[in-house]
Structure 1
Amino acid sequence: MSRADTTASILYHRVVVWLLFLILLLPLAGTLLYSLSTSWSATILPDGLTFKWYFELWGEPRFLKAFGQSLLICFSALFLASILILPLLFVVHYHFPRLDGLMNILILLPFAMPPVVSSVGLLQVYGSGPVQLVGTPWILIGCYFTIALPFMYRAITNNLHAINLPDLMDAAHLLGASTWKAAFLVVLPNLRKGLMVSLFLSFSFLFGEFVFANMLVGTRYETLQVYLNNMRNSSGHFNSALVISYFFFVLIFTWAANRLNKDKS
């Protein structure tokens, strides 16, 4: 193949990719434009542009409460996952490396069962009795904790393989550090970027979770996704502003995770 043919082929593929990207971007662009329009019914373009719907959205106490409760649930679940998964991974990879294969299977179990089926089981177990958690944020924190585990396990495991944990620990021991001192002062700083990437990606996924939140707590502890579902019959402009705000918030976290991942590589 000549250089001209290669250049033409590359140009063709780039044009196809950009066309597909623009096609995928059209619904989002339409939603953004609708959220900024004063009215838009029988014309190709809206009659006018305004930020009224965004001001109305971010001045709505119910929305702010749902937004804050979503953040609280996600941050609590990720904090719990972090303080449990880091010691577990250190022990497995340093003391019992043969268990890594078994852990790879066990850690995927939360995705083996559909959320609807899991929710029904949790309703039966925690809906009554001495440990009644349905309708409280605690059951959501537990569910989100299990969902975040696979993301965090894989990201941090890859990080541990990259830093060669046994050799790093041996070097720390030779310098007089104890096992736990080496883990905190040597290993943990080397896992910072892997941990941050896993936290950002997990947060982006958990922040949009709807099934567990709707079935297990609903309006008793309204999260952002439940709020969005409950407001589906309100103004289309208001809902569009809500969707765009949610999209850009998640986009920022996803961009941060990708940026950290590039810096890591």
Structure 2
Amino acid sequence: MRAELYHRSVVAVLILLLTVPVLATLLYSLSEHWGATILPDDLSLSWYLQLWQDSAFLAAFGRSLAVCLGTLLLATLIIVPAVFVVFYRFPGLDKLMNALILIPFAVPPVVTSVGLLNIYADGPLNITGTPWILVGCYFTIALPFMYRSLANSLASINVRDLMDAAHLLGASTPVAFLRVILPNLRKGLMASLFLAFSFLLGDFVFANLLAGSHYETLQVYLYNMRQTSGHFTSAIVMSYFLFTLFLTWLTARFSK
């Protein structure tokens, strides 16, 4: 009984620590004025109306969605067949791939950005300040999420036996992959896509250093608006948080 009470208390304190800052930000974004009083003077949706009527915010949000969706489309077209080839043809390469996918997390983002700027700032392939450099950079960030999730899905099924059975039934390797293997990867693929999308949407370092105001994304827009009203920036943060919460719900739904 005491152990159960202790566990419930720990969970309650943890939930309190996580929810209080979010609720405070939400309340601040809904308040017209909040001076020396404990609670705000009055509540309204004026900051949210002002935010969602701001063309700069809508453009930045659209750019973030375009870069993230383009990155995930490219990653799906490349990583899904690559993981299948590793598990079906070269299973010994899985250990090497597990080491390689850690490189994006081993190198600090600032160091990576400086290296990319030195390569692509001059010369025939000058793509700094464009969405293309963000797509290429974000691809390396999405790689660990997608590869590990797809690898776990493939490890739970016998790929070689399924492919051999499909071949005996007359299917070619591409057809067997599309109609037998790919449906078994659907849940893992969807979960990895939503997780990677949530992570990429919140990136600031790469977006600010590689593109900046030339291609203003959501996080760069939030940084540029830091000198405005705190109520307005709180509305931006809460809008981003609610959108990410919706993606998390979708991830949990597709992971079942």
Shared fold per TM-score greater than 0.5: yes
CA RMSD of aligned residues (A): 0.9
In structure 1, stretches of 5+ residues that fail to align are 1-6
| TM-score when normalising by structure 1 | 0.95
Superposition map of 1:215-234 within 5 A? 215-234=209-228
1:161 matches 2:155: yes
1:186-225 superposed matches below 5 A: 186-225=180-219
TM-score scaled to structure 2, two decimals? 0.98
Aligned pair partner of 2:29 in 35, 40, 60: 35
Corresponding residue to 1:243 among 237, 240, 243: 237
| CA distance in structure 1 between the partners assigned to 2:14 and 2:97 by the alignment | 39
**Equivalent of residue 86 in structure 2, options 85, 92, 95:** 92
Name the CA distance, whole Å, in 2 between partners of 1:235 and 1:71.
Answer: 25
Q: Displacement of 1:48 after TM fit? A: 0.7
Equivalent in the alignment of 2:134: 140
1:125: how far off?
Answer: 0.5
Q: CA offset at residue 11 of structure 1?
A: 2.1
Look up the match of 2:46: 52
Q: Does 1:101 align with 2:88?
A: no
Structure 2: gaps of 5 or more residues:
none
Specify the alignment match of 1:175 in structure 2.
169
The superposition leaves residues 216-264 of structure 1 with CA deviations (integer Å, 9 ceiling, x where unpaired) of: 1100000000000000010111101100000110111122112222x1x
Letter in 2 for 1:56: Q
SS in 1 for 2:156: helix
Q: Deviations over 1:101-158 (max 9, x none)?
A: 1111112211121000010011110001110010111000000011000000000000
Query: Is structure 2 residue 3 aligned with structure 1 residue 9?
Result: yes
What secondary structure is seen at the aligned counterpart in 2 of 1:163? coil
- The alignment-based identity, stated in percent, is 62
Cα distance in 2 between the residues matched to 1:23 and 1:200: 26
- Corresponding residue of 1:110: 104
1-structure distance, mates of 2:10, 2:141: 36
Q: SS of the counterpart of 2:42?
A: coil
- Displacement, 1:8? 2.7
Give the letter for the 1:96 counterpart: F
> Which position in structure 2 is the counterpart of 1:252?
246
CA distance in 1, matches of 2:160, 2:67: 36
Aligned-pair CA distance for 1:21: 1.1
Q: Does residue 81 of the first structure (1) align with residue 82 of the second (2)?
A: no
Aligned to 2:56: 62
Q: Identify the match of residue 128 of structure 1 among 122, 128, 131.
A: 122
State the AA in 1 paired with 2:17. I
Aligned length: 256
Query: Following the alignment from structure 2 to structure 1, what is the Cα–Cα distance between the partners of residues 83 and 57?
Result: 38
1:84 maps to amino acid:
I
